[in-house]
Amino acid sequence: MSVVGILAAAGRGERFGAHVPKQFLPLRGIPLLIRAAQCLQEAEAVAEIVAAVPPGYQELLQRWAEEYGVQKLSRIVTGGEHRQDSVRAALETPEVQRAELVLVHDAARPFATAALVERVLRAAQQHGAAVPGLPPAETIKKVAPTGEVVQTLAREQLRRIQTPQAFRREWLVAAHAHARRLGLSATDDATLVELLGFPVVVVEGELLNLKLTTPEDWRVAEALLQAEQ
């Protein structure tokens, strides 16, 4: 089983409000995207990493990869305006085209572990596509534009989906091509795969696999790292 990891790191982080994309900011001394790449670096099954970054950040990431020991980083591509554009650019590289399974991970998730990567990959090898997820702790309600509750959803059937997500390469390539033809967009790659009718299974995610979107998220991440010391 040949596996290549894609690090989606081309986002502009507009909700974060920083002067540079947040994935390039230091989180307790280490750049956020380097922390996110570590689970791919440490997972034995992952042979190579392809990163998609904003224009002008390639040399910086290459330097950091050498400084922080991300030896598996084999190619850096320029990402697009949207996340799907960036993942598609990575899918077109020779490294990914040689892979049997492709793992896609968000650069805004610094706490995913190599154990999670391996768990997702095992499920994808068996079923073709797998994502990590956790049941919501809160009651979830479907709400109308007016604010009125339409329906209270059964929590046992719901999952909060995370990355990394793993797919058979040909499934993911076909899903992105289909979305591009029809002008479809989605918040994760699994949704695109599902639209083609391919099965996607959910494995147990990790409670600390947080996605850092806002300054408040960042402060929580800093507190977690400080508590580890």
As a whole number of angstroms, the distance between CA 77 and CA 198 comes to: 28
Side chain identity at residue 208, one-letter code:
L
Span 18-29, average pLDDT: 89
Q: What DSSP string describes 191-227?
A: HHHHHTT---EEEE--TT-----SHHHHHHHHHHHHH
User: Residue 166's closest CA among 12, 45, 13, 38?
Assistant: 45
Side chain identity at residue 39, one-letter code:
C
For the ranges 6-15, 25-34, 66-75, 132-141, which has the lowest average pLDDT?
Answer: 6-15
Question: Please, how many CA atoms are within 13 Å of residue 65, restricted to the half-sphere of its CB?
Answer: 21
Q: Are 43 and 69 in contact (CB under 8 A)?
A: no
Find the Cα–Cα–Cα–Cα dihedral 55, 59, 63, 65, rounded to 10°. 50
pLDDT class for 12, splitting at 50, 70, 90?
A: confident
Residue-averaged pLDDT of the chain: 95
Q: What is the pLDDT of residues 159-172, one digit of tens each?
A: 999 999 999 999 99
Q: What is the pLDDT of residues 89-108, one digit of tens each?
A: 999 999 999 999 999 999 99
Please give the model's pTM, rounded to 2 decimal places: 0.95
Q: Quick one: what percent of the chain has pLDDT higher than 70?
A: 97
When computed from its CA atoms, the radius of gyration of the chain, rounded to whole angstroms, is 17
CA–centroid distance for 227 within its chain? 25
Predicted pLDDT at 19 = 76
pLDDT at 15 over 70: no
pLDDT at 81 over 90: no
User: Residue 13's closest CA among 79, 77, 59?
Assistant: 79
What's the chain's length in residues? 229
Predicted pLDDT at 13 = 61
As a whole number of angstroms, the distance between CA 178 and CA 44 comes to: 32
pLDDT at 17 over 70: no
pLDDT class for 11, splitting at 50, 70, 90?
A: confident
